[in-house]
Amino acid sequence: MTGAVATLQALLAEGVDTIFGYPGGAIIPIYDALYDFKEQLNHVLVRHEQGGIHAAQGYARSSGKVGVVFATSGPGATNLVTGLADALIDSTPLVCITGQVFAHLLGTDAFQETDIINITTPITKWNYQVTNAEEIPEALAKAFYIARSGRPGPVLIDITKNAQQQKHDFAPYVPCTHIRSYRPVPIVRPEYIREAAAIINQAKRPFVLWGQGVILGKAEQEFKAFIEKSGIPAAWTILGAGALPTDHPLNVGMLGMHGNYGPNVLTNECDVLIAIGMRFDDRVTGRLDKYAKQAKVIHLDIDPTEIDKNVATTVPVWGDCKETLPLLTALVDAKLHPEWHERFRVHMEQEVDAVIREELFPTSEEMTMGEVIQQLNELTEGEAVIVTDVGQHQMVACRYAKLNKTRSNITSGGLGTMGFALPAAIGAKFGTPHRPVVAIIGDGGVQMTIQELGTIMQTGVDVKIIILNNRFLGMVRQWQELFNDRRYSFVDIASPDYVTVASGYGISGKRVEARAELKQSLQQMLEHPGSFLLEVMVSKENNIFPMVPQGCSVAEIRLR
Amino acid sequence: MSQQASIDRQEYNITAYTENQVGLLNRIAIIFSRRKINIESLNVSPSEIEGIHRFNIVINETEEVVGKLARQIEKQIEVLKVYYNTNADVIWQEMALYKVPTDVIAEKAIVERLLRENGARAVVIRKDYTVFETTGHREETDNLIRVLQPYGLIEFVRSARIAIIKASDGFNSKLREFERREPSTEPAENEYLNSRDKVFTM
């Protein structure tokens, strides 16, 4: 058996059903082998490797499985870099397989050779170069184990062409379950659980911040049980959205720079802050030296490097929150904290008056991004997977989208990668074919990976695309307005006729310029069999508020 | 605050036990370079356990930063365990080699005496030059450079620092604990465990 066939056998043994990729000279042997595996392995031919890796991210995030990417050496491999960085910071499990030049050519600046191992070292959880076919099963077994275990992340395996071609008598594939030097899940220390529970039981104003760790740990039920028993108000980071349904009474909203007013202000008033599977990103904390200084901090995380990294903890609870949360729930007292909840409600009313009502139900003539999301909520009833790009529309969508189910919010959080949404939505649909997938993209981001309309055309995948067109790079423009004296430097971006572009790819589309057509057009989009592109012309200079200006405390959040 | 940080900075000895894997040095080095931290000294060598390497890294930093760096290093897949210690917590040595013209050594008795006073030992004696070695702390090995300079020091080289942690709870017991909790499925990896009594025979 050749190394190429062994590679595909390993993927099958790991339960892979879908691969996103783009062939090239150095990975031809694997593609040649794939020709015979068409029935078992669905390969999605993307239009650019960046699209391939973002699609794999969307697939992984929507399905909870490992996303798999194929790319050739050199430019193919380097085009994966943005996606790898994105996946690492957002803890997305990926296995990327890149072709590499023949082993005897390594280091000679051969055609399409790049040192992809060294290029990707800081942006992978692990990477490895295979130069001999014999190494393939073990390398891939390790790759999958590392990608999906503990705090998940991207892994890159670079396979030289000779190793793909080389024949070898491979032993039956053995999945990896242990690596001597790798402890994916820290051992839970019961004394810390007891200490944390004691602090929570004494708290007058406890506050929970949750992140994607709840989703990655598949601990949504355990999380719900914990907050429902303890009665603690809980707010989410952008990647944590959806772990608890939007309408849950204990869900008090979004944290951070464009989060809700109450959760931000009250972070600096709570007496106990319980962070669950989140990493105190600077977009969440604002100025650290003024962040929750009054509170005792309990931090639950699977990754020990996150404990005390940005915010010093009173009690660290290392471990998988699926394991630690039930232990904690058993020890906390059942409470309701009505007065404390009232504080959040009052702040929410202020925010509704100052921002939300006008954003979702505008009295102005121009359409807002918020009302598009609001209408979408009514039509999808929170059942759709929402994939967002990066910018103002992302903040609006994440703030206002109704999410009933977990794994419904797919966005580029940590890296803020424009161009993420279109390919990620394609991947998300392959990951969860039974759920509607709606991509919400700005006019800037969509032009970064618009070529992936070709992938939709060829595969016939059903993705609903909403372009919220404000004819600006809106978020940068907002910053320039607020902090650079309205010096709108190169944010005025022109767009093609998206409906015509889509039709060139055989995708139906429609442009909406008037509010009267909005709901019916969204309905038409959702009911359309197959993909549909809806361009909505929204207000040109709308700003996203509330906002914690950079360098300010979360309590200094501005409603206007 | 930055002034306070510079006061709190001191030399820390980071000891990392790792698999012997291509590319790991780069992975570890990146953890320092991305934070723009200079490595003062770096030594990598096999440890007393077969297949496990030991990094000794010296940096000048605050304890807070060193603690975070140590966790970041330990987070790497192929790293088993990381410790960090101040100079007071370790026994450390550096080795230095000095090349001086043999005729000067032969002619001037004072040079010989200086070498002896500094605990230097001849490693190679050739007609044209002699190489001496000495080990010790930085100031000790530095001292001999200054002394030999007037006598025609031709070449000097110093090794990276190696350090042994004073605390008696070593890494071996930790690794045994790891293996007890989550035994390795690869028997080859356990080989040293079967001969662990021999490993520490003194």
Specify the higher pLDDT residue, A7 or B116: A7
Q: What is the pLDDT of residues B25-42, one digit of tens each?
A: 999 999 999 999 999 999
CA pair distance A16, A11, nearest whole angstrom: 5
Q: Which residues 134-173 on chain B approach chain A with CB closer than 8 angstroms?
A: none
Nearest CA in chain B to A309: B68
List of chain B residues whose C-beta atoms are within 8 Å of the C-beta of residue A183: 178, 182
Q: Where are the alpha helices (DSSP H) in A258-385?
A: 261-267, 282-285, 321-331, 338-351, 357-360, 369-380
pLDDT of residue B190: 38
Task: Count CB neighbours of B128 within 10 A.
Answer: 9
Nearest CA in chain B to A175: B185
Global pTM value: 0.94
Listed range (A56-70, A150-164, A383-397, B178-192) with the worst mean pLDDT: B178-192
User: Confidence class of residue B191 from pLDDT cuts 50, 70 and 90?
Assistant: very low
User: DSSP of A395-420, one letter per residue?
Assistant: HHHHHH----SSS-EE---SS--TT-
User: Confidence class of residue A158 from pLDDT cuts 50, 70 and 90?
Assistant: very high
Q: Token pair 């990598």 is at which residue?
A: B44
In CATH, what is the architecture of B91-158? 2-Layer Sandwich (3.30)
Asked if B68 is an interface residue toward chain A (Cβ–Cβ < 8 A), one would say: yes
Give A2's contacts (C-beta < 8 A, 6+ positions apart). Answer: A29, A33, A133, A164, A165, A166, A167, A168
Short-list A550, A548, A549, CA closest to A265: A548
Predicted ipTM beyond 0.85? yes
**pLDDT above 90: percentage of residues in chain B:** 61
Q: What is the pLDDT of residues A327-372, one digit of tens each?
A: 999 999 999 999 999 999 999 999 999 999 999 999 999 999 999 9
**pLDDT above 90: percentage of residues in chain A:** 99
* Domain residue extents for chain B: 91-158
The whole-angstrom distance between residue A51's C-alpha and the CA centroid of its chain comes to 15
pLDDT of residue A261: 98
List of chain A residues whose C-beta atoms are within 8 Å of the C-beta of residue B74: 304-305
Q: Is A381 left (phi over 0), alpha (psi -120 to 50) or beta?
A: left
Short-list B92, B96, B21, B14, CA closest to B55: B14
Identify the residue among A180, A308, A309, A313 best suited for mutation to test binding to B, counting B beta carbons within 10 A and taking the highest.
Answer: A180
- List, in sequence order, every beta strand (DSSP E) within A72-143: 94-100, 126-130
A290 is catalytic: no
